[in-house]
């Protein structure tokens, strides 16, 4: 019998960690970011996870003025679910990070479920000559970085979301983040169906071994039962292998240049759409269907 499970593909199109020098394909201007997201949606992404950048030099920006033209173009050209970051960059204050979600009250926003060390050592080794000074400085300052998401920070963002009916992609980089999410669910602040984005393979978080996926899955099942939708994000070279394993275990998948610049060993992805197409090919080979934006809206009970 055919397996007709619908899988949501999220495309995270630019993020805040990768920098323009690392790939000529990383979208930087508002037009590039919007075009990248539209291409990803056309390839099968039902959710586009959005960061903005200062078009002058590609620096990550949470200024609503930098989001505005991107969101306008997206709304005019695609029905994809717009998911706005509240993570911004780990160098920003939480107040700065919340600005676009307060301004635009999107259907969906990311929410990072705990503090963690954030190690960018592999990138420090790989990239040495940068086009812009901020890129080098950012990576240098990441030698001993803590990505701070205290309980008070998380509560503030949840309260904004609950006021505006914005739901969340709960970014869980380790098992403790699932416990934090259960805590906020018990307090009635994190509302279901919970969209749990489990992040694997970042230095400072859980590893990227299939056993790590199993542990996340089992723990989420125990804590949330039927009240959650599980998605997988594998960083860097783990992107497609973990998407494949996760999908086979029942997850949705997230890809995009925010999470990996690559499409194969030593081979840069030329676009977000290329990664979405690869993920789609894998999912369809596993006899899954790719969810449309409206199907994803229904699964996640979004306001539409």
- Considering the complex, what minimum distance in angstroms separates the CB of residue 11 from Zn ion? 11
On the question of a cis peptide bond just before residue 49, with omega within 30 degrees of 0, the verdict is no
Among 85, 142, 244, 251, binds Zn ion (CB under 5 A): 85
Q: Which is nearer to ligand KMH, 51 or 278 (CB)?
A: 51
User: In the beta sheet, which residues pair with residue 228?
Assistant: 194
For residues 231 and 217, give the distance between their C-alpha atoms in angstroms, rounded to a whole number: 10
User: Is residue 12 at the binding interface for ligand KMH, with CB under 6 A as the rule?
Assistant: yes
| CA–CA–CA angle 150, 156, 161 (5° rounding) | 130
3-state secondary structure 105-154: CCCEEEEECCCEEEECHHHHHHCCCCCCHHHHHHHHCCCCEEECCCHHHH
- 110 touching ligand KMH, by CB under 6 A: yes
Report the alpha-carbon distance of residue 121 to residue 51 in Å, rounded: 23
Based on the shown chain and the rule CB under 6 A, indicate whether residue 112 belongs to the binding site for ligand KMH. yes
d(CA 40, CA 43): 5
Q: x/- site string to Zn ion, residues 269 to 298, per CB under 5 A?
A: ------------------------------
Going residue by residue from 158 to 177, which x/- string records binding to ligand KMH, judged by CB under 6 A? -------------x------
**Scanning the structure block, which residue is given the tokens 């394993």?**
245
CB of 59 to ligand KMH, least distance (A): 15
For Zn ion, how many residues bind (rule: CB under 5 A)? 3
The stretch among 10-18, 132-140, 156-164, 210-218 that binds Zn ion (CB under 5 A) is 10-18
Give me the residues that bind Zn ion (CB under 5 A), please.
15, 85, 87
Give me the residues that bind ligand KMH (CB under 6 A), please.
12, 15, 49, 85-87, 110, 112, 171, 199, 258-259
């Amino acid at each position: 019998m055919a397996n007709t499970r619908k899988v949501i593909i999220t495309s995270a199109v630019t993020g805040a960690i990768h920098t323009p020098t690392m790939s000529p394909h990383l979208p930087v201007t508002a037009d590039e970011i919007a075009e990248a997201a539209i291409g990803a949606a056309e390839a099968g992404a039902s959710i586009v996870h959005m960061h903005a950048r200062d078009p002058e030099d590609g620096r990550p920006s949470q200024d609503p003025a930098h989001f505005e033209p991107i969101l306008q173009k997206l709304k005019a050209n695609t029905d994809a679910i717009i998911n706005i970051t509240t993570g911004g960059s780990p160098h920003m204050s939480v107040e700065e990070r919340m600005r676009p979600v307060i301004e635009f009250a999107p259907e969906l926003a990311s929410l990072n479920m705990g503090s963690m060390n954030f190690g960018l050592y592999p990138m420090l080794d790989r990239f040495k000559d940068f086009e812009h000074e901020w890129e080098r400085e950012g990576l240098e300052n990441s030698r001993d970085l803590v990505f701070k998401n205290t309980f008070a920070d998380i509560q503030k963002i949840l309260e904004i979301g609950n006021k505006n009916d914005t739901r969340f992609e709960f970014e869980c980089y380790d098992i403790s983040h699932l416990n934090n999410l259960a805590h906020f669910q018990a307090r009635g602040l994190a509302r279901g169906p919970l969209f749990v984005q489990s992040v694997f393979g970042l230095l400072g978080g859980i590893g990227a071994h299939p056993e790590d996926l199993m542990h996340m899955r089992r723990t989420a099942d125990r804590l949330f039962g039927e009240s959650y939708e599980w998605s997988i994000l594998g960083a860097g070279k783990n992107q497609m292998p973990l998407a494949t394993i996760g999908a086979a275990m029942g997850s949705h998948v997230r890809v995009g240049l925010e999470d990996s610049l690559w499409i194969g060993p030593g081979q840069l992805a030329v676009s977000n759409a290329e990664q979405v197409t690869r993920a789609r090919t894998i999912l369809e080979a596993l006899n899954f269907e790719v969810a449309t934006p409206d199907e994803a809206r229904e699964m996640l009970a979004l306001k539409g």
